[in-house]
């Protein structure tokens, strides 16, 4: 009973860390409502800021990509109970984001700055839409599975946990990675783009473009033909204007 309670508490802690990280990231990129935004912090030579920021982004990219791979999960669950494996991934990812936001070095030269009020409102609206697409997409495929809560609750009830099956709900019929589309929109839609923000958005977008290919490789291995067919019909990021006809096998 104590172990079950600890597992639930650990899962709740990991989920709270995720919520804190994502909420702070929203304020960080908007330069509002948080103590330190993307254009705040220790100033210094531009080359040093780029080196530090790139290193911080690299720490997150390596941690997130390696721990998401099936081979790592198989090795990792030899030491970490399967019920808290996802929560551990979420917690460490959130801590990596926290380190990135804490130690980020600003590069405050303007790339663009929009003055027209209507256009500023439009860009902030698009940014909010990006975050909204991201959050909605997590619920469409199982928000509480994605962040480890259902796993620890199943452990608390001494019940078997089953991963959600392959489904194509709503936005997933339009693009294969709506969560990542939401991130990209939110990163780029801003009326005030500085060099530091551009570095963050560009590096994060580049990581997304690479990471989804590793994810899809794993999905093709685990799901086989259903995912192959899905990939032929639904684009990764940009919706098609016309549906792709289903191929009929001879």
Q: What is the pLDDT of residues 183-238, one digit of tens each?
A: 999 999 999 999 999 999 999 999 999 999 999 999 999 999 999 999 999 999 99
Over residues 143-193, the pLDDT tens digits come to 999 999 999 999 898 888 888 888 899 999 999 999 999 999 999 999 999
The SS3 call for residue 113 is strand
| Segment 99-119 mean pLDDT | 97
Whole-number pLDDT of residue 4: 85
d(CA 128, CA 23): 12
Task: Please check whether residue 157 is in contact with residue 150, taking contact to mean a CB–CB distance below 8 angstroms.
Answer: no
Beta strands in the chain (DSSP E): 110-113, 192-194
For residue 243, what is the DSSP state?
P
Position 242 pLDDT exceeds 80: no
For residue 53, which of 11, 107, 17 has the smallest C-alpha distance? 107
**pLDDT tier at 249 (50, 70, 90 boundaries)?**
very low
Q: Is residue 246 pLDDT above 80, yes or no?
A: no
Residue 176 neighbours by CB under 8 Å, 6+ apart: 212, 216, 230, 231, 234, 235, 236, 237
Please tell me the predicted confidence (pLDDT) of residue 76. 93
- Express each pLDDT in 23-58 by its tens digit: 999 999 999 999 999 999 988 999 999 999 999 999
The model's pTM = 0.93
Chain Cα centroid distance, residue 92 = 13
Are 37 and 27 in contact by the 8 Å Cβ rule? The answer is yes
Checking if the pLDDT of 244 tops 70, the result is no
Neighbours of 245 (CB within 10 A): 7
Residue 248 pLDDT more than 70? no
Beta bridge partners of 112: 193
pLDDT of 250 reads: 28
pLDDT at residue 200, rounded to an integer: 98
The residue with greater pLDDT, 35 or 3, is 35
Please report the pLDDT score of residue 165 as a whole number: 85
Residue range 108-130: average pLDDT? 97
């Amino acid at each position: 009973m104590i172990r079950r309670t600890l597992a639930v508490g650990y899962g709740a802690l990991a989920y709270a860390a995720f919520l804190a990280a994502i909420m702070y990231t929203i304020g960080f990129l908007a330069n509002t409502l948080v103590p330190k935004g993307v254009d705040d912090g220790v100033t210094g030579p531009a080359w040093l800021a780029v080196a530090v920021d790139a290193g911080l982004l690299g720490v997150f990219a390596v941690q997130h990509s390696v721990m998401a791979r099936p081979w790592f999960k198989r090795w990792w669950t030899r030491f970490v109970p399967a019920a808290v494996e996802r929560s551990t991934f979420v917690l460490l990812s959130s801590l990596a984001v926290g380190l990135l936001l804490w130690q980020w070095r600003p590069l405050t030269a303007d790339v663009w700055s929009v003055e027209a009020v209507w256009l500023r409102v439009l860009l902030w609206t698009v940014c909010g839409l990006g975050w909204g697409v991201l959050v909605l997409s997590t619920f469409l495929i199982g928000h509480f599975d994605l962040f480890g809560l259902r796993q620890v609750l199943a452990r608390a009830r001494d019940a078997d946990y089953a991963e959600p099956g392959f489904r194509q709900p709503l936005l997933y019929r339009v693009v294969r990675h709506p969560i990542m589309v939401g991130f990209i929109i939110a990163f780029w839609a801003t009326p005030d783009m500085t060099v530091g923000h551009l570095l963050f958005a560009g590096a994060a977008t580049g990581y997304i473009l690479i990471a989804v290919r590793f994810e899809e490789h794993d999905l093709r291995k685990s799901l086989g033909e259903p995912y192959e067919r899905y990939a032929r019909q639904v684009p990764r990021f940009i919706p098609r204007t016309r549906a792709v006809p289903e191929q009929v096998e001879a």
